Amino acid sequence: MKRFKSPDLKKSPKVYIEILIAWGVTEALFGIRLFEHAIDSSNDLNRFLLIMNFVFISYFWLNGLKDIFFVTNYYYMRRKRIKAEFYLERHYHFKKPPFVALVYTTCDDFIPDSLERSMHQTYPNYHVYILDDSRSTEYQNEVNQFKKDHPSVTIIRRKIHHGFKAGNLNHFLCHHKWDYFVLLDSDEIIPRRFIEKALPFFKFDHDLGILQCNHMSTRNYNHFMKTFYRGVNAHWPTYQLVKEKYGFLSLLGHGAMISRSCFNDVGKFPEVVAEDISFTVKSYLKGWHTRFSETINCQEQFPIDYLAFKKRLFKWTGGNLEFIHNYTKAIFTSHKFTWYDKLDIVLFTYALPLTYVFSIFLALNLILMPARLITPDYSAAALVPTIICFFSPAWNDMIYNFGNRLNFFKQLKYNINSLLLYGSMYYASISSSVLYLMGRKPKFIVTPKADRKYTVWQAIYFNIKDLIFGVFLLLISFTFDKSLAPVALIITPIFAEPYLTLISGKE
């Protein structure tokens, strides 16, 4: 029997080399005609517009191929990696158990059951801290009652609330003694052996600063949550495990362990909205590693309803733009980041906030090219990679659902609903991006946890800006193209927003 040893720490560009080769072949087979059509234009402005159109389509293909190769490589490496993690657990231990702080952050969203199920660890040397940033007296009283019921817990509050979640963490971490700390969100549930299983990673890799652990979505009790939670379970292990070895893996804000040495070296969490990836970049520049554990499975809840999901994406978009502004120069001028680290950051972290750039592509095809009577040469052959790449983000979910024996009709329903959900985020992403570019600083929005039901009129009212935007696109398409086809895939999810809002209250 083959003996599986500890994980291979050496990073590799293998996956991104595969992606770039596939992208090159795709361009040679399907993209070259688009490019030739662009440069053959006799008018300089027309040529520029067609070349821009070619660039957008090429980027779309690259992004789609990324998903295909990430998923394929995950299933190739998964089994070996899981066995390697079990090897670590058996063979690497600290002689003297270091002191671990279990840090639970909350701001008007305290969930007692989550903390109670997380705090009972098998590890002997740890302590539970509640970092309570709540403004609400109701939530403060809940935290106080939890303290009465569990006297061993320590509550930490601060008088001046600044720096968002990062400021709350720094207020504690910079003034208390600990060797490692575990970062918990309000809805987080970690397994009883979390600390016991996480520490061997640090014993094995002395340069390990951050261990990000796996997550699955649980306690999903309404129709909205039950419809979409599978995407969380599919996404977490696939992308994080591949990014660890073949790209740039980041701390994802919760369900993670961080060492004191790493924290001291960085200094503190950057007090920005995207404190997790910002801290990771700063630790990376200091030479610290970030790793992922698939076998340490934590639990989180899917957003409670459609509006909560939208608020979270709005926060992520603004936070990522702030991150791009603050760290792009440091990343792309540093030799600590490999070329495939940098490409990974562009394709993942930059993708969400740069959705507004896609508006240029829309403007090209809806207004500018029709106004100049330009007809791009979209051959039937070019539709092949476009269709494949359009559905490639669903590839991972489909494999996961097939493995969990979801029948064809439920799989089809899930895919249609997911297309509507993520497609409907277009306006939220654009508006968050535009507000940031206009000088409005992003805010750390606590994702709502309270369940509520909406009337039809409320579902329309709360999405009215998106719906107006959809009507605007529809009118532009009719005016310049005499057809709905160019915007059908954008406006259909937008007009489905009231439906997505209404299903939130169903059991």
Q: Is residue 162 part of a domain?
A: yes
Question: Considering the domain boundaries, does residue 154 fall inside one?
Answer: yes
Instruction: Flag whether 110 is in a domain.
Output: yes
The three-point CA angle 356-314-321 to 5° equals 55
442 in any annotated domain: no
In a domain, 490, yes or no: no
| Contact of 484 with 475, CB cutoff 8 Å | no
Q: How many domains does the chain have?
A: 1
Q: What is the CATH number of the domain that holds 131?
A: 3.90.550.10
Compute how many other C-beta atoms are within 10 angstroms of the C-beta atom of residue 288.
Answer: 21
Domain that holds residue 263: 92-302
| DSSP single-letter state for residue 14 | H
> For residue 280, what pLDDT is reported?
98
3-class state of residue 181 by DSSP: strand
- Residue 13 CB neighbours (<10 A): 16
Q: Distances from the Cα of 170 to the Cαs of 40, 174, 477, in angstroms?
A: 58, 6, 50
pLDDT, tens digit (0-9, with 9 covering 90-100), for 356-399 = 666 666 666 666 666 666 666 666 777 888 889 888 988 999 99
Residue 404, in any domain of the structure: no
Task: Examine residue 216 and state whether it is found in any structural domain, yes or no.
Answer: yes
Check residue 2 and give its pLDDT: 45
Ranges in the chain, pLDDT < 50: 1-4
Q: d(Cα 113, Cα 311) in Å, to the nearest integer?
A: 24
Q: CB neighbours of 450 closer than 8 A, spacing ≥ 6?
A: 304
Q: What is the DSSP letter of 29?
A: I
Q: What is the sign of the dihedral through the CA atoms of 196, 201, 204 and 205? A: negative
pLDDT attached to residue 41: 73
Domain contains 432: no
pLDDT at residue 185 in the model: 93
pTM of the model: 0.91
- Judged by phi (left if over 0) then psi (alpha if -120 to 50, else beta), residue 77 lies in alpha
